[in-house]
Structure 1
Amino acid sequence: MLRYILKRLLIMLITLWIIISLTFILMVSIPGSPFNSESSSNETVQANLEAHYNLDKPYYVQYLLYIKSIATFDFGPSIKQPDHSVNDLLGRGFPISFELGIITIIVAVLSGITLGVFAALRHNGMIDYLAMGFAVLGISIPNFVLATLLIQHLAVNLELLPVATWSSPAHMVLPTLALATGPMAIIARLTRSSMLEVLTQDYIRMARAKGLSPWKIIVKHALRNALMPVVTILGTLVASILTGTFVIEKIFAIPGMGKYFVESINQRDYPVIMGTTVFYSAFLIIMLFLVDIAYGILDPRIKVHRKGGE
C-alpha cells in the first residue's frame, strides 16, 4: 500500500508539473502585453513595468522564476491589483468558492443517491419515471441556463429568494441549485442502474432468505456496493463542480475565485491566471487521489497487489 501511495504521489507531481508548464506556455504565447492599454503612449513606462514583473527576461528565465514561486507557495503580486498578491486573492476568494462547492457536492450526492435508490426500488413505477425524467432534464440543461431560469422565476417573478451576493443562507439556495442539478442527475441515474444490478445478486437473495429487514438489506448490503460506480465518477464531478462555480459566481455576483479568475483573463493578469490554475489543479489532483483511497474504504476487497498477483 505504501508503494502504491508513493507511486501515486509521484504521478501527481508529474501531472502538476505538466499543467504548470502548459499554463506557462499558453500565457507567453498570447501576443501583446498586459500593459498595452495603460502605457501605449509611453514605451518607457511599459518597459519599466515589464522589467518589474520580469516579463522582459527570456522565457526560460521566466519559467524558472515561475517554478520557484510555486515551490515556495508565493505566486507573486497581481499585475492589475498591485496592492494585493495572488496569495491574498486566493485567501479571500477560495473559502467562498470552496463553501459553495462543498454545499453543492453534499446536495448533489445526497439527493442523487436518494433519487437513484427510490427509483431502483420502484423500478418501472411512477417514482422511477419521475426521478429519471427529472434526471434527464438536469443533465440536458446547462447550469448557466438553469441559473438564469431560476433567477427569472424564483427571484424576479415570485420574489421568493434573493438574487446576488453570498451574505446569508437564502443567497446560497439559487447558486447551489444551479450547480447541483446536473451532478445530482448523473448520480441518480448511475445509482439507479447500479442498485438494479446489485439487487439481483445472490448475496441479496441470501440476505432476504435469512429474514433480514428490507432497510438493513438496502443500507448495509446493497447500497454500499452500489456506490462504487458513484465513487468512480465523484472525482470528475468534483472537478466539474468546482470549475463550474466560476460561471455561476459571475452570474450571481458571488465574491469567490470566479470573480478574480474571469477578471484576470479579461485584464490579462498573468500571475492571477497562472496562480489560480495551478492552485485549482493541485486541489483537484488531491481530490482524485482521495477518491482512489476511498475505494479501499468502501470495498476492503480492493487491494494493491504486487506484480504477478501475489
Structure 2
Amino acid sequence: MTAPLPLVAVTMGDGAGVGPEIIVRGLSEPEIHTLCRPVVIGDAARLAEAARICGLADAVTVRTVASPADADPSPGVIDVIDLGLLPVGLPFGTLSPLAGEAAYRYVERAAALAVTGEVQAICTAPLNKEALHAAGHRFPGHTELLAHLTGVGEVSMMLATEKVKVIHVTTHIGLIDAIERIDPGLVERTVRRGHRTIVDSGVPNPRIAVCGINPHAGENGLFGRGEEGEKIVPAIEALRADGIDARGPLPADTVFFVAGRGDYDLVVAMYHDQGHGPVKILGLEAGVNITVGLPVIRTSVDHGTAFDIAGTGTADAGSIVEALRQAARLAPAPSTAS
C-alpha cells in the first residue's frame, strides 16, 4: 500500500509581491503533485488573477476548500483555504499594510494547522517586512514569527542550495548586536540543530565547518578582540567531545569555496550577511530557506517580494518548487490517508 502524501500548507505571502505568481507557476508543475498534497493559505481571487497574469488561466483551476483534508493532489488543481483578506484591485508592487496584515494571517492559519497535525509542513512565499510592521506585527521575518506562533523559544535559519547548506547563529539583527549576542552556548545549540537536520536528511556523519567572526578567523588573535577563542572554540570543543564533526573556527572568505566543492555538508555562519551573500551567489534562483528547531517542517523561497517585477508574470518559480520538494522530503507522512 502506497503511503499517503504529506499535506503542505503553502502561505501566499505578501499579495502585492510575487508570491501569488510563483505559487501558481510552482503548483502548475505536475512533479509537485507526485511529492505532496499542497494547499494554499491565501486569497483565491488573487491566485486566479495571478494565473491570468502568468498565462495559466486555462491550465490551472483555483479551487476553494474548507480544510487541508480536502486538498486534491491532481495536477492542474490549486486548492486554497480562502481567507478573503485582500481588496479587489490591490496594486502589485506597492507597499500595503493590508497586504502585510493578510500575510500575517496566512502564516497564523498555517501554523495552527501544523500544530494540530492537519498539515505536515509549511512552505512560505515571501512577505514584506515593512508591510508586516506597518500592519502592527513587529517581527523581523518568517523565522521569528513562526517561532512565536508555535511557542518555540529559539530556532535557526538554514539556507540550502545544491552546492552548499548554511545555518546562521544570528540573523536579523545589526552586526554589532550580533557579535555581542554570540556566545558558546548559542553556537553549540545552533550547530546541534543543524547537525540533527542534516542527519535526518540522510547524511549520518556530517562534516560541519564553523566560521569565525573576524577576518581570517582572527588569525590567532591578530584581528579582533579574541572573539573566536572566547565565543566559538568552547562550543566546538563541546561538540567534538560528543562525536559531532565540527571544525573551526575557519576563515569565512574561503570556507564557502571548499564547502561548494564538497568538503563540508554544512557551514555555520555567525551573522546574516556572512552566510546569505555566498549562498545567494551560489543559488539565488533555487535557494531554499529552512527553519530549524520548529515543531513542524518549514521551508521557504530564498528571495523577497520583488515588488519591481510583481504583477508582470515574469517571476521565476524555481525557488518555490525546490522549497516544496524539500518540504515534501523532510515532512513525515500523515498518520492516515485523507
Q: TM-score, normalised by structure 2?
A: 0.27
Which structure features the higher share of strand residues?
2
Q: TM-score, normalised by structure 1?
A: 0.29
Which structure features the higher share of helix residues?
1
For the pair shown, the structure with the greater C-alpha radius of gyration is: 1
